[in-house]
Amino acid sequence: MTTILLVHGAIADGSSWSKVIPILQAAGHETIAVQQPLSSIPDDVAKVRSVLDGLEGPVVVVGHSFGGVVITQAAHDAPQVSALVYVAAFAPDEGESAQSLGEPFGPLPSASHFSIDKQGRFTLPQDVFPQYFCPDVDPGEARVLAAVQGASDVARFGFVSGPPAWREHPTHFVVAENDQIIPPDLERFVAERMGATTTSVPGAGHLVMVSQPQAVADAILAAAR
């Protein structure tokens, strides 16, 4: 049996995997969704690594969005990891940040809507959250996701990656073809650079695991084989 470790992104929480988890469990896999503090990338990495260090292999580690930055660090030098899955995610190489990785692709319209509080934490205003973060999710469900989003540190955009775990483990990537948060071209670029087994999901927004959980679960299950 393979253990599946799910790592959420910024302005989200572990419940963003709630539709994928039952599919993975039904396939016989122990599944754990980590709740990161979102206070900094190093804090998130420490949380994920603390959970990972308590698991015996094989473990498939899955990261969504900024969770891709986190798993790139947390799964480095972790022999129990059998594969990585990036879901509409950043996947930096050593010396790169999410910001530098994204610069060649230009900003999306959503970038101008993020709100930053006095503590230097960002969220997406609830009135535009459904439009940009999950346009293909049921409107009522999208409003709930907007309400429970976790404020995240702005500094994570400039966090510089160390040695990347994706150079050490087989990788899979799920491209959200209608992503309004991370450019789909960026997703395709990092997937190709990693040599990842790639699944492209037409019409999918950034929260593809909520709108099309079967497609995401199938990619994770393929990594677990």
- Exposed, middle or buried: residue 202 (CB in 10 Å: 0-12, 13-18, 19+)? exposed
Residues 103-114, mean pLDDT to the nearest whole number: 95
Residues 171-183 have pLDDT tens digits of 999 999 999 999 9
Residue type, 174: V
Per-residue pLDDT at 69: 98
Q: From the candidates 15, 16, 39, 65, which is the catalytic residue? A: 65
User: What was the pLDDT predicted at 1?
Assistant: 85
Q: What is the mean pLDDT of residues 122-129?
A: 96
For residue 57, the model assigns a pLDDT of: 87
Q: Contact at 8 Å (CB) between 186 and 179?
A: no
Q: Which tens digits make up the pLDDT trace of 160-216? A: 999 999 999 999 999 999 999 999 999 999 999 999 999 999 999 999 999 999 999
Residue 65 is a catalytic residue: yes
pLDDT of 17 over the 90 cut: yes
Rounded to two decimals, what is the model's pTM? 0.97
pLDDT for position 150: 86
Average pLDDT value for the chain: 97
- Provide the pLDDT confidence category of residue 153 given band limits of 50, 70 and 90: very high
